[in-house]
Structure 1
Amino acid sequence: MQATERESHESAVATESASATKDASDEGVRSEKAAPIRLRLESRSRELVARLPGTAALLWFGLTALIAGVPSTLIPSPGFDPSWQAGIGFAVSDNLRFGQDIVFNYGPWGFLDWPQHVSRTQAALGFLFGMAAVLALYWVVYLCVRPRWSGGVAGVIAFAVTVASAPAGPGGRLVYAGLLLTLLTLHDRFTRRIDTWRDAVPVVLLTAVGTLLLQVKFSEGVVLLALAGLVAVSVASVRQLIRGVGRALATFVVTFLVLWVGAGQRITDIVPWVRGSQEISSGYQEALAIEQGEFAFGYLTAGFLALVVGFLALRLAVRHKTVATAGIVVVSAVMLAFGFKHGFTRHDPAHEVSFFLAAGFLIVGFTTWVGRPAVALAAAAAAFLMAPSSLANYDPFLARNQWRTGIELLINNDYRLTSVEAGRARARDTYQLPESIVSELRGRPVHVDPMELTLPWAYSLDWHPVPVFQTFSAYTPYLDQLNAEALIEAPADQVVLQEATLGIDNRNIRWDTPRYLLALACNYRVGARAERWTVLHHSLNRCSAPETTVSQPVTAGTPVLVPQVGTGEMLVARYRPEPSSMLASLVHLGLKDWSPIEVGADDRTFRLPEALTDGPLLVSLPAELAWQAPFDAFQYRQLTFNRAGTVEFQVIKVQ
């Protein structure tokens, strides 16, 4: 009996021991399975903590917002650039239709990039947009450099480069923030190599902001959407590719329609607006390809930075051979091309900043990847030193004064109204428009030719512009024809106030947008005149169809005699240059046209956009159609072309 009890007890102990051993074994297995997950979570937690901003970073951000996020104090004013910048806001305030009434490379939200006190709403939204751009750029720079440096040092770097990017404006800052977010996303995919919900965030965010920028400034929106597309396709599997592209397309369509309709625009105007914006962007590359000032140093510095960026990108791609590093090469090429087109097409110190900022932010983004981040940061510093025109961008006292004025304009309505009225008075003092002309303009739709869009605002006139409202920006036949048709189809009481001025960039103002000028000469009659101003009233067409009199080949540098015409006849020329070689065309397309068309008219030589060489170019204007210089009666004696081709002269009879 005792033996039986002993055996039973031993059996129970053995069973309990076996059960405990099994439990311990199962716990060990679970622990082994959980270990990799725990390690990954700990690693991600450490990385997240490392990137969280500390007190120093927050203080530097506050200083950045103070200096770089100032509200606008701009009030519309006369001049070449101030007029088109204010004109975007005027178009929105007057409920003009983008794509029909207005065709420009800025869209219905373009006033966000150049907020002026056309209205309080525009100024307030512009302030919020600018502050958001500063916030985004600062923190993305901080996230790029924080893993390599302390929070305080990372804050200083983010402050310095964000303030240095002031010439880019809010839209440009968002492009560079998008660039850095793209590089961070590719680096994140390279280190994780797994598909999670986090992969959706950069694609959706870049696409949404890029779509907004498309309706702010067309070219900046295109480049940011290109970066969003690169993030969407830089994945390791077809499943991820389909997901990424689907997210991008859905985000683009929804965001575009919401913004377009929210701006009070019509769905039917989307296609003509996109077409017109594309025409202006592409035409700009050829029409304004010019070198101004001391340009050699800019090219040398740009070449050095391009080599640095290319070396870093290709080294990463060759060393790692992944989709993410291949994406780095494509991103670098896209941004360098964007910077070069913006910075060196119309090449002067103010424009070349675009390239140096693009190169600088690319190198800042590479600090996450390279083994010697300090060397990369030194190269980036060389790029950013080329950007600011002075240390005034870093002046906290100047920023303080701008905050004082900007906030007062936003909050104090009496102060704002007084300031705006003072701005109108200053503009009127500049224009010096006689009362006789003002009275002739009142009560009629007014277009101001060629560029002073602030004038109708200064005199409280009814602004009714042609679609490309600064006419020299109609760089292509399509844009030129839009303006010509707008003049012809304008209301019967339409008037054009033309200022006697010279062409820009050594272009002949008699040939700027030739179809538009022909429509103006034939369909408008002279009204009041005073000093440099002439009023032209819409009337019936007084010109016959053109008839060809002479068509002949021309050789480069050989003068061509202009045929004589009789009284009451106008002569126009159509020049068709021989096409450039394939190599030259590729250089022009990829980089810049360093050999523009030049046409000599008697003793002067002018640049002529190649897209507009078919004219019809005015070479003779009779007294019956003339108004004031440079559109007084004239006839050129000879023309000289710098490229071989064919020239055709046509006579138009004045009825």
Structure 2
Amino acid sequence: MKPISITIHPDKIIKFICGILTIYLFFAFLPIPRPIGTGLDPSWKYGISQLAANNVIFGKDIIFTYGSFGYLVRGAILEQNFWDIFIFKIIIHLILFTVAIWRILKSRHSLEKLSIAISVSFPYLISDFYEALQTEYQTLYIIIILLSFREIWQGKHAHYWAVGIGALGGFLLHSKVSMGLQASVSLFIFFSVQVLLGLRNRFGVRKNLLLLLDSQLATATTAFLFLQVDNFSNWLSVILSLVTSVVIGVAVIPKILTSHPRLQQISQFTPRLLYGISLAVIILISQPSLLDYLNGYSHITAGYSGGMSYIGSSTELTLIFLELLGLFWLLLLVAQSGNPSFSVAMILLTLLTFKHGFVRQGAHGLRFVFSMPLIFALCTLQIRPRFWQKFAYSLHLYSLVLCLVFHNYYTNLFADYYPTNLVRPLAPALVAEKFNYFWNPVSLKADLLAQSAENLQDVILPAPVREVIGDGSVDIIPRETSMVAANGLNWQPRPVFQSQAAYTPYLDNANRNSLANSPRDFLLYNFHTVDGRHPFFDAPATAVYYTCHYGISPQVPELVQLPVLPNLMVLEPLPQSRCGEERERRELSVVWDDFAQITAEDGEMVRAEIEIEHSFWGRLAKSLFRVPPVMMTVRDMSGEERTYRILVANAENGVWLSHLPRHDGEAFAFFQGQLPPRTYSVKFSTLNPGLFQPRIRMTLRGYGLGEFREQPAMAEEISRVAD
């Protein structure tokens, strides 16, 4: 009997194990859509889903950082959008896995493969509870990995890749605007550097210039078409423009240039230039306007660093700055190793991700920290295997350690929201659940809709209140849009449908004009805001409008109590404005930390247009990072002091100053015409006054009482002070 020989192939065993592990991780990291929830973030996630379902036009009807396809990356599940979200998330997940595996297979040795695998996996580990690192940032990771492939951009199919990624950037503009800009601008920088290198080396200029044009034309085309995807005239205009440009550029122009041999070299560029010019004209004259869409976003992002800045631990920033210094050094080494275009593109992406994560700081920094290992790993692949590559691996290890440190800190700090176990997504029970959902998405849909219904129990209006509202048009101030889903309301939102995001006069005026031009039958109002602001400071011009033109509904004359939304007020339009006519104006200049008095001569009711200008260093800090919050301390006639945060950008729109309700009860009385105690004086403070001009200009605008009533004792006190 012949002996049986068994040959063991370690390589095949390792490949088999890696294959099984890859499949396991694919299901472990499977992105699961979210149900409708209550609160600040869940409300806007529901809002973008509902608005997309209502076919509103972002940039015209709504101004936000997400567009008409934003629901695909961050939206809450509705009955009508489940399949869109589920399929889109699976596609992005599959593409990222495919691209990552491709990058791993192209790596030179095991350490490179391991660094890529770990770097891609780390964001997945927290994406179940930190949703920004799910589909939203995964699209960015796909683009980053593709940019690292030199063989793609030096190969014969580079034009297809340029058009594909460019078109993806245009689409992403209508999911999350910043993602689209990062994709398209990084691609622009990538090819621009290639063109400049070609000019220096006199090689590859034409090819890279064509890649640059193709990518940007693809971005502009999809960005325009997806602004209103069902607009047939837009599609027809683009198709006619493209066909005409190709016909003229290919069939007509070359014949004209035959008598000019030197000009024949530009014949390849002619169709692209003609199409680019015609597309630009179409974009400029078309309505709805892509430029308006981007302009609205620019106002939100311009006010974000001042409006949402939060100063956290200086130790965190020190650790992050060390990481940035290490990364920039690696990018310099990558440039010296022959890929400067990748280095420059990564600088832009890194700085934008850093600012987004650390303007707000806190847990927002997780998105930056968990994204950095991938960039470190891709840099390491492109550095020549010498001392500096070993140094690069040590920096990559540092970035992974930072992920663990930040995760441990914030999951303990916010233990009620974030699970402390980093490897929790790898638990077999959770993987099995996702595996079942993948093959039976109908059950996932049913579970999510059931979870939504359970969550919405906390914001269901009492039956008598719901009966009063009926089919009337409703807006919700400041933000709890989940009430729309819970109660089937006829929601007519303001353009910036969460008040805390109206950072600039442009946004504030858009909301004010919306209420003035299309008065809602009801406002569901809650006297709350974020970050220690006064609720009237969120959108000051809008606040002045609804405090003058709306009052407590006589049909709902009491505060409405909901489990997660106590002291809700139901407001109805008044027959006429209850505010008096404008009378006096006084301009004054105040310095930091010095009280300025508001006198009786300033008016019975007073608004303040507050102009706080940044110094040179403040403008630089605001552009690159953030500026500290500005606080306003008000002192009333009894000597009580209260401090609120104000938004520097929109305070010039004129905040109510003379009478600021201190709590829900006084706000309820305010909407019935009863004024709270009068503000006697005001001062401004900040952590670093050197980032601002030394003087603050205030214009006090006085008004008559109109139909408001002052407290009798307070009226006597004002008269006494005036005397």
Tell me the TM-score normalized by structure 2.
0.74
Residue in 2 that maps onto 1:597: 630
Residue in 1 that maps onto 2:221: 254
User: How far did residue 647 of structure 1 move?
Assistant: 1.6
Provide the rounded CA distance (Å) in 1 between the counterparts of 2:533 and 2:438: 38
Residue in 1 that maps onto 2:61: 101
2:87 pairs with 1:128: yes
Provide the rounded CA distance (Å) in 2 between the counterparts of 1:422 and 1:398: 17
Residue in 2 that maps onto 1:523: 549
Q: Are the counterparts in 2 of residues 57 and 152 from structure 1 also a CA contact under 8 Å?
A: no
User: How far did residue 155 of structure 1 move?
Assistant: 8.0
Are residues 108 and 548 of structure 1, via their aligned partners in 2, closer, same or farther at CA, if it must alter by over 3 Å?
same
Q: Quick one: which of 411, 426, 434 aligns to 1:394?
A: 426
Q: Are the counterparts in 2 of residues 364 and 380 from structure 1 also a CA contact under 8 Å?
A: no
2:438 pairs with 1:411: no
Provide the rounded CA distance (Å) in 1 between the counterparts of 2:394 and 2:526: 54
Residue in 2 that maps onto 1:47: none
Are residues 376 and 396 of structure 1, via their aligned partners in 2, closer, same or farther at CA, if it must alter by over 3 Å?
farther
For residues 334-367 of structure 1, the C-alpha deviation after alignment (integer angstroms, 9 at most, x for no partner) is 122112111100110x210122133222101112
Provide the rounded CA distance (Å) in 1 between the counterparts of 2:625 and 2:479: 29
For residues 458-501 of structure 1, the C-alpha deviation after alignment (integer angstroms, 9 at most, x for no partner) is 0111111111111111011000000000000115x521110232
Are residues 165 and 628 of structure 1, via their aligned partners in 2, closer, same or farther at CA, if it must alter by over 3 Å?
same
Q: Quick one: which of 291, 294, 307 aligns to 1:271?
A: 291
Q: Are the counterparts in 1 of residues 168 and 219 from structure 2 also a CA contact under 8 Å?
A: no
Q: Quick one: which of 196, 200, 206 aligns to 2:165?
A: 206
User: How far did residue 134 of structure 1 move?
Assistant: 2.3
Residue in 2 that maps onto 1:43: none
User: How far did residue 651 of structure 1 move?
Assistant: 1.5
Q: Are the counterparts in 1 of residues 609 and 655 from structure 2 also a CA contact under 8 Å?
A: yes
2:540 pairs with 1:500: no
2:278 pairs with 1:238: no
2:619 pairs with 1:585: yes
Are residues 309 and 566 of structure 1, via their aligned partners in 2, closer, same or farther at CA, if it must alter by over 3 Å?
closer
User: How far did residue 596 of structure 1 move?
Assistant: 2.7
User: How far did residue 404 of structure 1 move?
Assistant: 4.3
2:547 pairs with 1:512: no
Provide the rounded CA distance (Å) in 2 between the counterparts of 1:421 and 1:363: 42
Provide the rounded CA distance (Å) in 2 between the counterparts of 1:367 and 1:145: 13
For residues 593-626 of structure 1, the C-alpha deviation after alignment (integer angstroms, 9 at most, x for no partner) is 1x33221112122221210121311113499xx8
User: How far did residue 180 of structure 1 move?
Assistant: 2.0
* Structure 1 letter corresponding to 2:46: A
Are residues 441 and 148 of structure 1, via their aligned partners in 2, closer, same or farther at CA, if it must alter by over 3 Å?
same
What is the aligned residue count? 578
Q: Are the counterparts in 2 of residues 76 and 454 from structure 1 also a CA contact under 8 Å?
A: yes
User: How far did residue 546 of structure 1 move?
Assistant: 3.1
Q: Are the counterparts in 1 of residues 592 and 683 from structure 2 also a CA contact under 8 Å?
A: yes
For residues 529-552 of structure 1, the C-alpha deviation after alignment (integer angstroms, 9 at most, x for no partner) is 433122222345524553333221
Q: Quick one: which of 531, 539, 547 aligns to 2:583?
A: 547
Provide the rounded CA distance (Å) in 1 between the counterparts of 2:669 and 2:542: 17
Which consecutive unaligned segments of at least 5 residues does structure 1 have? 1-49, 190-194
Q: Quick one: which of 181, 195, 198 aligns to 2:146?
A: 181
Residue in 2 that maps onto 1:7: none
User: How far did residue 576 of structure 1 move?
Assistant: 1.7
For residues 21-59 of structure 1, the C-alpha deviation after alignment (integer angstroms, 9 at most, x for no partner) is xxxxxxxxxxxxxxxxxxxxxxxxxxxxx9xx9545543
Q: How does 1:62-73 map to 2 (within 5 A)?
A: 62-72=23-33
Provide the rounded CA distance (Å) in 2 between the counterparts of 1:550 and 1:152: 68
Provide the rounded CA distance (Å) in 1 between the counterparts of 2:17 and 2:590: 69
Q: How does 1:69-218 map to 2 (within 5 A)?
A: 69-72=30-33, 74-120=34-80, 122-146=81-105, 147-150=107-110, 153=114, 156-157=117-118, 160-161=121-122, 163-164=124-125, 166=127, 167=130, 168-185=133-150, 196-218=155-177
Q: Are the counterparts in 1 of residues 589 and 696 from structure 2 also a CA contact under 8 Å?
A: yes
Provide the rounded CA distance (Å) in 1 between the counterparts of 2:207 and 2:113: 37
Q: Quick one: which of 641, 646, 650 aligns to 1:608?
A: 646
Are residues 141 and 162 of structure 1, via their aligned partners in 2, closer, same or farther at CA, if it must alter by over 3 Å?
farther
Q: Quick one: which of 613, 621, 633 aligns to 2:675?
A: 633
Provide the rounded CA distance (Å) in 2 between the counterparts of 1:462 and 1:553: 46
* Structure 1 letter corresponding to 2:343: V
Provide the rounded CA distance (Å) in 1 between the counterparts of 2:365 and 2:22: 27
Residue in 1 that maps onto 2:418: none
Residue in 1 that maps onto 2:6: none
Identity %: 19
Are residues 406 and 562 of structure 1, via their aligned partners in 2, closer, same or farther at CA, if it must alter by over 3 Å?
farther
Provide the rounded CA distance (Å) in 2 between the counterparts of 1:346 and 1:154: 29
Provide the rounded CA distance (Å) in 1 between the counterparts of 2:483 and 2:438: 24
Provide the rounded CA distance (Å) in 1 between the counterparts of 2:435 and 2:316: 34
Q: Quick one: which of 565, 568, 583 aligns to 1:533?
A: 568
* Structure 1 letter corresponding to 2:77: H
Provide the rounded CA distance (Å) in 2 between the counterparts of 1:313 and 1:554: 47
2:357 pairs with 1:337: no
User: How far did residue 257 of structure 1 move?
Assistant: 3.7
Larger-gyration structure (1/2): 1
Provide the rounded CA distance (Å) in 1 between the counterparts of 2:374 and 2:670: 46
SS at match of 2:52: helix
Provide the rounded CA distance (Å) in 1 between the counterparts of 2:595 and 2:372: 45
Provide the rounded CA distance (Å) in 1 between the counterparts of 2:328 and 2:655: 45
Which consecutive unaligned segments of at least 5 residues does structure 2 have? 1-10, 199-203, 235-285, 412-420, 560-566, 636-640, 686-693, 708-723
Q: How does 1:359-370 map to 2 (within 5 A)?
A: 359-370=372-383
Residue in 2 that maps onto 1:225: 184
Residue in 2 that maps onto 1:649: 700
2:332 pairs with 1:305: no
Q: Are the counterparts in 2 of residues 165 and 387 from structure 1 also a CA contact under 8 Å?
A: no
| Root-mean-square deviation over aligned CA pairs | 3.0
Q: How does 1:286-301 map to 2 (within 5 A)?
A: 286-292=306-312, 295-301=313-319
SS at match of 1:171: helix
Q: Are the counterparts in 1 of residues 188 and 212 from structure 2 also a CA contact under 8 Å?
A: yes
Provide the rounded CA distance (Å) in 2 between the counterparts of 1:620 and 1:174: 49
Provide the rounded CA distance (Å) in 2 between the counterparts of 1:406 and 1:442: 40
Tell me the TM-score normalized by structure 1.
0.81
2:400 pairs with 1:381: yes
Q: Are the counterparts in 2 of residues 425 and 458 from structure 1 also a CA contact under 8 Å?
A: no
Are residues 597 and 619 of structure 1, via their aligned partners in 2, closer, same or farther at CA, if it must alter by over 3 Å?
same
Q: Are the counterparts in 2 of residues 93 and 119 from structure 1 also a CA contact under 8 Å?
A: no
Provide the rounded CA distance (Å) in 2 between the counterparts of 1:329 and 1:605: 45
| Stretch moving more, 389-398 or 361-370 | 389-398
Provide the rounded CA distance (Å) in 1 between the counterparts of 2:456 and 2:368: 34
Residue in 1 that maps onto 2:611: 576
Are residues 245 and 328 of structure 1, via their aligned partners in 2, closer, same or farther at CA, if it must alter by over 3 Å?
closer
User: How far did residue 149 of structure 1 move?
Assistant: 2.8
Residue in 1 that maps onto 2:513: 485
Provide the rounded CA distance (Å) in 1 between the counterparts of 2:126 and 2:148: 18
Q: Are the counterparts in 2 of residues 83 and 451 from structure 1 also a CA contact under 8 Å?
A: yes
